[in-house]
Structures are given as structure tokens and as C-alpha cells.
Amino acid sequence: MILDLIIIGAGPAGITASVYAARKRIKFLVITKDIGGQAAWSSDVENYPGYQFITGPDLMAKFQEHMEKYGIQLNLNEEVVELEKKDNIIYIKTTKASYEAKTVIISAGKKAKEIGAPGEKEYKNKGVAYCVTCDGPLFAEKDVAVFGGGNSALDAAIQMTDIASKVYLVNITGAFTGDPIMQEKLKNNPKVKILHNTRLESITGEKFVKSINVDTQGKKQALDVEGVFIEIGMIPNSWFASGLDKNERGEIEVNCANETNVPGIFAAGDVTSVPEKQIVIAAGDGAKAALGAFRYLGRLK
Ligand SMILES: Cc1cc2nc3c(=O)[nH]c(=O)nc-3n(C[C@H](O)[C@H](O)[C@H](O)COP(=O)(O)OP(=O)(O)OC[C@H]3O[C@@H](n4cnc5c(N)ncnc54)[C@H](O)[C@@H]3O)c2cc1C
């Protein structure tokens, strides 16, 4: 059976696309590894209109409730591993089955690169965070460490100088790759201690993070911090989509209608080249992509 539409991912972009698709009575399926995506990791969401404060898991539960109202077919715990368009049909392979569709919306989001140090997984959301814009305010007047040496790490460290008491900026190489202007700001800030050539060995604590162990070219030390920001980059979940134009970061290139270079394949949210990665932006793009798919299906008739 050839479906009208398959939506890949059920974060803010995919769930919103599914609500719009259901309201247009499109015959479709959502395939996803989980519900909520990255948005469900955020402890505090204070910038989604309509909610002055809501936790990420609560907001995503509301998205899920909204989607379920439409009785949408949802294949959970299933990962798309291949996507290709041939002879006007889009073929999708997953970890469980194969599917065919006339249109697809890729809303598979991004994932943060992890350092892979002991304690990192255990203390995720208990002191270990991957988004300063989102979680930085939780560490007001506390000591924190930011890991990384590119623009996102430097920006994260600058943001934290306004919030935290002390900011360790820990870089694995001997020099930052981020902008010199940002480096200057940090070098002259008395709250900041820069550690180059330094590797994270482990993160320790009790219920929450209490300290980290680092190694600077053989010199080992423990730093008492309550917050650990890993800012070594994000990876778009776009690897399975062959034949699509992607930028140098691996994000799927889309136009302002969320169309990719392949007709019938749309993309929405963090997996795309659209600037700024936020829940409201992903949700808006999901809506646009679903409406675009609906119009495209109309033209096929
Ligand atoms: C810790 C943290 C806190 C944040 N806090 C905020 C905040 O306060 N406010 C704000 O606006 N933004 C915040 N953000 C950013 C926001 O979460 C993202 O911009 C938003 O979730 C992007 O939505 P998305 O649907 O594009 O992707 P995602 O949320 O990444 O969802 C992607 C979905 O695709 C699924 N998926 C991935 N690969 C596959 C595959 N191969 N097959 C099937 N399914 C797949 C995933 O399981 C997931 O369901 C935060 C991000 C993080 C990491």
C-alpha cells in the first residue's frame, strides 16, 4: 500500500505536522524513535507562547495528547534507516519494516554530541546539560563548567558569566576555534577560568552533580561544579536521507515552504538548515510542511 504521507519523528515538528495532516484527512503514518524529542529533555520551557512556564516533558505530553485526539497511526520505537525516491515513490526502510509513500516529512531533529565520559549519562538533567539558552538560568550563582572550544561553547560560557558565580571553560585542544571577539570577552572576565589541553575524565555527585575530574596533560584535578554544559556540537539526524541537499553541518536544505530539493520530500524543525533551533520554530515548520504536503498531493490528483 502506498501511503499519502509518512512523518519521520515525533518531536515538536513531527507532532505538529501530524495534527495538521490529520485535520486535512491525509492518509498517513508517523514513524518515530520516541515522543517529544529534544524538547522533552528541557527542564524549564519559558518561551513557548501560551505557557509562561512549563517543563519540557509536560509540554510534550500536551503535544502528544493533542495528536492522540486524532487517532493517528504512530509507530513508536522504530527508526528510519533508509529513505530514497524512485519513480515518484518514496521508499522508506526502518529497523522493523519497509514502507512506500507519495510524500514524506523529515522531522528527525538533532542530537547533542556527547563527550562519552563516565557520569555523563547518569547526570543528564541532574546537572549535565546541553543547552545554555534553555538550562543556564537553573545555575544562578553556582559554579559551572562549559566544555568545548567552538562558537557554541564560547557563547555558552559568555551567557553563563551573567548567571553563574564561576565558569570553567574547558577545551580539549590548545586553542579555541571560536570567534576572536568572543575569546577576548572571556579572557578579560574575572569569573572565567580557561583550561586548554584538558580532558573530562568523569562527572561525580550524589543526586545531582557535585564535581568533575579533569586531566590537563597529565595533571589531574577535581573541580567543584554543580553544572556541566557539554557544548561540542549537535548532529542533525539526516544521515538516512540520501539524495537530499544538505549544508556543511549535515542539515537538510529547505526553502521557506519547507520543500527539499526532491519534490514530495519536505523537512521541518532542527534537522533543517532553518536558522534558530527552538520548539516554536520547529512546530511552525511542521505545520508548514504538512500544508505543503497536502498541496503537493492535490497536484498529483
Ligand atoms: C536540553 C534542551 C533544552 C531545550 N530547551 C528549549 C526551550 O526551553 N525552549 C525552546 O524553544 N527550545 C528548547 N530546546 C530546543 C528544542 O528542543 C528543539 O528546537 C526542538 O525540540 C526541535 O524539534 P524537532 O521536532 O525538530 O526535533 P526533535 O525534538 O529533535 O525531535 C526529533 C524526533 O525525531 C525522532 N527521530 C530521530 N531520528 C529518527 C529516525 N532515524 N527514525 C525515526 N525517528 C527519529 C526522535 O526520536 C524525535 O522524536 C532545547 C533543546 C535541548 C537539547
Domains of the chain: 2-112+234-300 (3.50.50.60), 128-230 (3.50.50.60)
pLDDT in tens, 37-73: 988 877 678 899 999 999 888 999 999 999 999 999 9
Per-position pLDDT tens, the chain of length 301: 999 999 999 999 999 999 999 999 999 999 999 999 988 877 678 899 999 999 888 999 999 999 999 999 999 999 999 999 999 999 999 999 999 999 999 999 998 899 999 999 999 999 999 888 778 999 999 999 999 999 889 989 998 999 999 999 999 999 999 989 999 999 989 999 999 999 999 999 999 999 999 999 999 999 999 999 999 988 999 999 989 999 999 999 999 999 999 999 999 999 999 998 999 999 999 999 999 999 999 999 8
- DSSP H or E run through 18: helix 12-23
CA of 94, closest atom in ligand 1: 42
Catalytic residue among 34, 58, 87, 134: 134
The 10s digit of each residue's pLDDT in 9-25 is 999 999 999 999 999 99
Residue of 4, 135, 270, 285 marked active site: 135
Helix (H, G, I), strand (E, B) or coil at 299: helix
pTM for the structure as a whole = 0.80
List, in sequence order, the alpha helices (H) in 69-205: 132-135, 151-161, 180-187
User: In the predicted model, what is the mean pLDDT of the chain?
Assistant: 95
CA distance 273 to 239: 14
Ligand 1 pocket: which of 30, 42, 128, 281 to mutate (most atoms <8 Å of CB)? 42
Q: What is the pLDDT of residue 87?
A: 92
The 3-state DSSP class for residue 194 equals strand
Dist. CA 38 → ligand 1 center (Å): 3
Cell of 7: 512523518
CA–CA dist 60, 82 (Å, integer): 27
CB distance 28 to 3 below 8 Å: yes
- What separation in Å is there between the alpha carbon of 299 and the centre of ligand 1? 31
